[in-house]
């Protein structure tokens, strides 16, 4: 009898664990996560020269309040997990942003990470693994990126390529 009771408890617990967090069925609660695969070839125009083989990834996590329907109801924070590789040794990454713009289209800065030439990420061996958090993400910024991730891209700028060295369109993952 104990086994039946335990089995019923496990089944009841499993039934309550409905995992519907997929890019097509995102959760209405918790963080909102985007990723982008960054390459020099994605820049407009594509990068040539010493940084032509540069690449990386970014994971961007928005922590913003949402109502029960999932609508963003206020501003919050954004964390940028940036991994870069295949840059020349000693390359300084001087800027990094979310821009508005479809694939192949250059657009204006939309969300700034705060990275600057005065406080760069220096890739001593041509690689970097950096996390940057900002606490001034607005409701409008979050809403626009969530409503059209593919209409936004992330890129990293270097001294050699101040207009952008690597770029990738955003994809929502959570």
Tell me the pLDDT tens digit for each residue of 160-172.
999 999 999 999 9
Cβ within 8 Å of residue 144, ≥6 positions away: 100, 110, 152
Q: How far apart are CA 168 and CA 54, in angstroms?
A: 12
In a domain, 6, yes or no: no
The pTM of this model reads 0.83
* CATH of residue 116: 2.60.40.200
In a domain, 12, yes or no: no
Contact between 62 and 78 under an 8 Å Cβ cutoff? The reply is: yes
In a domain, 39, yes or no: yes
Tell me the pLDDT tens digit for each residue of 33-88.
999 999 999 999 999 999 999 999 999 999 999 999 999 999 999 999 999 999 99
In a domain, 153, yes or no: yes
In a domain, 3, yes or no: no
In a domain, 137, yes or no: yes
Domain that holds residue 64: 22-172
DSSP labels, 60-72: EEEE--B-TT--B
Q: How many helices (H) and strands (E) does the chain have?
A: 2, 10
- Confidence band (pLDDT; 50, 70, 90) for 26? low
The structural domain count of the chain equals 1
Q: How far apart are CA 113 and CA 97, in angstroms?
A: 6
């Amino acid at each position: 009898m104990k086994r039946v009771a335990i089995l019923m408890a496990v089944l009841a617990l499993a039934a309550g664990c409905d995992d519907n967090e997929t890019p097509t069925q995102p959760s209405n609660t918790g963080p909102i996560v985007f990723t982008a695969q960054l390459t020099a070839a994605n820049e407009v125009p594509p990068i040539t020269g010493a940084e032509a083989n540069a690449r990386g990834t970014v994971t961007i996590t928005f922590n913003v309040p949402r109502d029960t329907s999932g609508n963003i109801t206020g501003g919050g924070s954004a964390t940028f997990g940036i991994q870069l590789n295949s840059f020349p040794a000693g390359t300084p990454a001087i800027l990094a942003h979310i821009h508005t713009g479809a694939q192949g289209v250059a657009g204006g800065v939309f969300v700034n990470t705060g990275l600057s030439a005065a406080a760069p990420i220096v890739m001593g061996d041509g690689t970097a693994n950096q996390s940057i958090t900002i606490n001034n993400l607005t409701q409008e910024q979050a809403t626009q990126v969530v409503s059209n991730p593919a209409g936004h891209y992330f890129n990293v700028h270097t001294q050699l390529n101040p207009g952008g060295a690597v770029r990738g369109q955003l994809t929502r993952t959570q």
